[in-house]
Amino acid sequence: MLSLMYIANVGRKKHMELLKKVRRMFDQSSRAEIRKDTFFVYVKIPEDLQPIPRGEKYEDSLQVRLESLKFGRLTGGGSELGENHPDGTPSVEFCGLDIEVNTLPEGLAFLRNALVELGVPIGTQLHYTLGKQKLQDELHEAGWLEGQRRTFLHPGFGI
């Protein structure tokens, strides 16, 4: 009986250690999400892409490029659903990418170039805040129109 209690205590102890490690991981990731030394950029792409194709076309490549060049990191993505297609399948009005860049001017320049290389459509926008100004850059046929005031807010964060 004593050996069974010992095994149960050891198992409980290991379980508690594992729970503590998981809590620490979540605590660290939560703190990382609220970093004050980075700048948030929302990329609004007017393209009918479901999540997996969006990841394959944009997110995977951007994540690798951002991290390898030390410009920042991709922190999320989403889709704004539109009206269903005639066949009943859901359409995407636009998709978005959440990105943290380490420096705003260099990060925006990097994103403008990288997104064009990845083939984003005309009308793609970069939303960011400079001081208290909510600004956007928008891709036109002649190139990027930079530093325009914006009223659109991030669908999830309202920024």
Domain definitions of the chain by residue range = 1-34, 37-149
* Cβ-contact 55, 77 below 8 angstroms: yes
Question: How many of the other CB atoms lie within 10 Å of CB of 63?
Answer: 17
pLDDT confidence of residue 14: 54
- The per-residue pLDDT for range 42-62, each reduced to its tens digit, is 999 999 998 999 999 999 999
* Cβ-contact 120, 135 below 8 angstroms: no
Q: Alpha helices of the chain — where are they, by DSSP H? A: 2-33, 51-54, 60-68, 104-118
Whether 150 has a pLDDT exceeding 70, the answer reads yes
Task: Provide Rg for the chain, Cα atoms.
Answer: 21
- The per-residue pLDDT for range 83-110, each reduced to its tens digit, is 998 999 888 999 999 999 999 999 999 9
Candidates 3.30.230, 3.40.50, 1.10.760, 3.30.70; CATH matching 37-149:
3.30.70
Question: How many of the other CB atoms lie within 10 Å of CB of 125?
Answer: 22
Whether 156 has a pLDDT exceeding 80, the answer reads no
Q: Are strands 72-81 and 92-101 parallel, antiparallel or unpaired?
A: antiparallel
pLDDT confidence of residue 12: 53
Quote the tokens at residue 27.
Answer: 């605590």
d(C-alpha 139, C-alpha 124), whole Å: 5
* Cβ-contact 148, 135 below 8 angstroms: yes
pTM assigned to the model = 0.74
Q: Alpha-carbon torsion 110, 112, 118, 124, what sign?
A: positive
Question: How many of the other CB atoms lie within 10 Å of CB of 115?
Answer: 20
Q: Which amino acid is at 91?
A: S
